Amino acid sequence: MAKLSSYADYPDVLRKEHVASLTGFSERKALCIIKDLNDELKKKGYYVMQGRISKQYVFEKLKIPFE
């Protein structure tokens, strides 16, 4: 998947392909990132879906600017 140009180009719920294109990591590593972030959210009491993560949360946690 090609890197999308801005925050608005990504869907609200990201999958491993999106996280991989954002970070430049492999899809396997992107899935590990999603799992770790989902574990954080679950501890905070949020409902999470395996293999998917909120776009806003990813951008905040990875300190990617919202442009």
Residue type, 23: T
In angstroms, the first-to-last Cα distance of the chain is: 20
The dihedral sign for the CA sequence 1, 40, 47, 28? positive
* Residue 55 within a domain: yes
Question: What's the pLDDT score for residue 6?
Answer: 80
> CA of 57: how far to CAs of 3, 12, 35, in Å?
18, 10, 13
Q: What is the pLDDT of residues 3-59, one digit of tens each?
A: 677 888 899 999 999 999 999 999 999 999 999 999 999 999 999 999 999 999 999
* Residue 1 within a domain: no
* Residue 25 within a domain: yes
Question: What's the pLDDT score for residue 19?
Answer: 95
For residue 22, give its domain range: 10-61
Q: What is the pLDDT of residues 17-26, one digit of tens each?
A: 999 999 999 9
Question: What's the pLDDT score for residue 8?
Answer: 87
Question: What's the pLDDT score for residue 62?
Answer: 92
* Residue 2 within a domain: no
Count structural domains, the chain.
1
Q: List residues bridging with 13 in a β-sheet.
A: 54
